[in-house]
Structure 1
Amino acid sequence: MTLLLFLLLFASALFFYKRSCKNAICKAFICLSFAFSLWSLFLYLSTVSLDSTLRSFIVPVVPIPILFTPLLLNYITLNYTKPYEPTPLPPYVLVLHLSMLLLFSWLAFEGYTWPMAFDGKSEYFREGLFFYIACGYLYVSAIACLFVIVYTMITGGYLVRLHSIYMFTGILLGCCVSSLFVIILPFWEIYQLPLAALGFLVFLWFSWIPATQYDLFNIELEDFGQDFRNPRFSSIIISANRFLLNRMNAKAFKAICDRLEEKRVEEVFERQANLMIEAGYSAQDLIGHVNRCSRDITRLFFR
């Protein structure tokens, strides 16, 4: 199961890398995806039969990739609505997260921030105070990002709110699912830490949409042309965005539709005027002119 979850996380990271533009926020999201997959890989390697020396080194460093989450997630949360004009993290936030990263990484090497330990023969569960402190730091950082997203939803326009729904849902579900296996179940002595990767997968796939596919919320959202010859997965997302926008702000959605209709009417009138001019200057092949005009008008609605 651990190997399967690693493969899913790694495949997701590769997918995001290939399907995302390479601006700063996309790079941060891709780094976060690979950090999750690296965590899952370390977790898998800690459970297989390896040399005891190598395994003794791997087990303590398992949590280190996850410690990059607050820094990267804060950067993504700050800039997911403005990917082409990203704002750097405030200095005090950057210093805080870098300090916590170094502190918990050092504690990880000392064997304090991961509940699994290796005694040279077998791996066993060992709860510790620093493990829960590290978890608290991770989840408090995620909750702080949720508050930032809520503030953005309140102060932003309808397209910003549309972005924020995906980000909020991804972070919230990711926290709930992962905390179930990391914090809640261990209280009942049910240890299924690898399944926390399910929460990471939920977070990644929900957050990937607003973090890296910005055009689906503005340019392509207002383009109602249908490309039947090249169906895309993004068409599902665009349809969902239009449904959500119509529910959130029917007036804004109607304005988008009105602009599209006005643009199409103007283009049809332009084609008709060109047909009349061509027909007036050329008395021959009138049927050919009509056919060409009909094809041009058809292309307005079918890309």
Structure 2
Amino acid sequence: MTIATFVLSSLSAVHFYRGSERNYLSLSFSLIALLMSASCILYSLSDFSLSFTFRSYLTNLISIPILFIPILLTYIIFNYFRPDSPVSPPALLTLIHALAIVVFSWYSFRGLVGSYQMEGSLRIFKPGPLYYSACAYIYGSVFVCLAILIRNIFIGNYFVRLHSVYLFAATICCGLISSFLAILLSLSGNSEVSAVVLGTLAFLWIAWISITNFRLFNIELSDFKNGLRNPRFSSVIVSLNRFLLKKIDPKTFAEICDQFETERREEVYALQAEMLLESAYSKEGAISNHVKQYSQKVTDLFIS
């Protein structure tokens, strides 16, 4: 199970970077997935028939990659609604994360932070003295980011609010999947590391869709064409975004609809004037042909 999770995390990391704009924001997603895969491979290697010292060393390293997730998550929360112009988190917040990473990593090397210990030839769940302190740091960072998301759902323009809804849903999905798998895998005797990794991947994938396809929240949100001949998965996202926008900001949604109707009405008037001029001065074709061409052009305005 851990090996499969490692492969899935590694492939996700590659896709997050190659299938996006390849900016710092997408790099943060890739790094989180790589850190998760690193924990998985360390956990798997510590099961091999190696020397006690080397297995203990690998066991102590399992928790270190996870310590870097809060600082990357903080960067994502500060920039998920502005992928083209990211900003750095406050210096004090970055310093706190850096100190926490250094301190907990140092004690992880000494076996005081990890959740597993080696006793003889067995690796058992035995949290170190600083394990719960590290958990408090990680979960505290997650809850702070979650609080920022909840605030942004109710404050800001529709672009920020829609993205916040997606990231909030991703966070809830991550928690539910991790909790369910932790119980299921523990009952079957498997590692709970896989549960945490799979839950985190669920968060990354849901959040990544909204961040890398930000045009679906901005440009295409005001285009109500229906791709009947070329249906796309992105059309589902756009429809969902419009539904959410109507619920969280009815005024903005009404303004977008009015803007769309005004633009299309002006284009129809222009086509109508063009048809009248062509039918009056053109000697080619009957009036019925001009009407058919006009009807086709009007249809193309609303159906792509």
Instruction: Give the TM-score band, short-chain normalised.
Output: 0.7 to 0.9
Check conservation: 1:39, 1:65, Cα contact below 8 A: yes
d(CA) in 2 for partners of 1:233, 1:120: 53
- C-alpha separation between the residues in 1 aligned to 2:194 and 2:303? 47
| Residue matched to 2:30 | 30
- Report deviation, 1:77: 0.6
C-alpha contact (below 8 Å) 1:174/1:203 kept by paired residues: yes
Structure 1 position 208 matched with structure 2 position 203:
no
Partner Cα distance (1:228, 1:43) in 2: 49
User: Could you say what secondary structure the match of 2:284 adopts?
Assistant: coil
1:154-303 maps to which residues of 2 (within 5 A)? 154-175=154-175, 177-178=177-178, 192-286=192-286, 287-303=288-304
Q: Distance in 2 between matches of 1:17 and 1:104?
A: 28
Displacement of 1:92 in angstroms is: 0.8
Residue in structure 1 matched with residue 20 of structure 2 by the alignment: 20
Partner of residue 152, structure 1: 152
What is the CA distance between 1:181 and its match in structure 2? 7.1
Q: TM-score, normalised by structure 1?
A: 0.87
Query: Deviations for 1:190-229, whole angstroms, at most 9, x for unmatched residues?
Result: 9733322232123212322333322221112222222344
Matched residue type, 2:151: Y
Measured at CA, do residues 12 and 231 of structure 1 come closer, stay the same or move farther in structure 2, by a change above 3 Å? farther
* The 10-residue stretch of structure 1 (249-258 or 266-275) with the greater mean CA deviation from structure 2: 249-258
Q: CA deviation at 1:180?
A: 7.2
CA RMSD of aligned residues (A): 2.7
Q: Answer with 80-89 or 148-157: which moved more.
A: 148-157
Deviation at 1:279, TM superposition (A): 2.3
C-alpha separation between the residues in 1 aligned to 2:40 and 2:190? 19
What residue is the counterpart of 1:51 in the other structure? 50
The AA in structure 2 aligned to 1:254 is A
What is the percent sequence identity of the aligned residues?
38
Letter in 1 for 2:21: C
Letter in structure 2 aligned against 1:96: I
The 10-residue stretch of structure 1 (274-283 or 83-92) with the greater mean CA deviation from structure 2: 274-283
Pair 1:112–1:291, CA change in 2 (3 A): same
Aligned to 1:129, the other structure's residue is in SS state coil
Deviation at 1:61, TM superposition (A): 1.3
Deviations 1:108-159 (A, max 9, x none): 2222221112356332222222111111100000111112222323331233
State the alpha-carbon separation in 2 of the partners of residues 216 and 58 from structure 1: 44
Counting only pairs closer than 5 Å after superposition, residues 123-134 of structure 1 correspond to structure 2 as 123-134=123-134
Is the Cα–Cα contact under 8 Å of residues 149 and 164 in structure 2 kept in the other structure? yes
Please state whether the residue corresponding to 2:232 is helix, strand or coil.
Answer: coil
Distance 1:232 1:12, change over 3 A: farther
Quick one: distance in 2 between partners of 1:130 and 1:177?
A: 26
SS in 2 for 1:118: strand
Would the alpha carbon gap of residues 125 and 137 (structure 1) be closer, same or farther in structure 2, given more than 3 Å must change?
same
Residue range with higher mean Cα deviation, 10-19 or 109-118:
10-19
Letter aligned with residue 81 of structure 2:
T
Q: AA paired with 2:293?
A: R
Name the CA distance, whole Å, in 2 between partners of 1:12 and 1:233: 19
Deviates more, 1:171-180 or 1:150-159: 171-180
Q: Which residue in the other structure is 1:115 paired with?
A: 115
Counterpart-to-counterpart distance in 1, 2:41 and 2:100: 23
Q: Which moved more, 1:55-64 or 1:99-108?
A: 55-64
Q: Which moved more, 1:119-128 or 1:80-89?
A: 119-128
Letter matched to residue 302 of structure 2: F
TM-score, reference length from structure 2:
0.87
Where structure 1 has 5 or more consecutive residues not aligned to the other structure, the ranges are none
CA offset at residue 73 of structure 1? 0.6
Number of aligned residues: 299
Which amino acid is 2:262 matched to? E
Q: Deviations over 1:26-69 (max 9, x none)?
A: 2222222222233223233333x353365444222112221111
Aligned partners of 1:146 and 1:172 also within 8 Å: no
* Structure 1 residue aligned with 2:90: 90
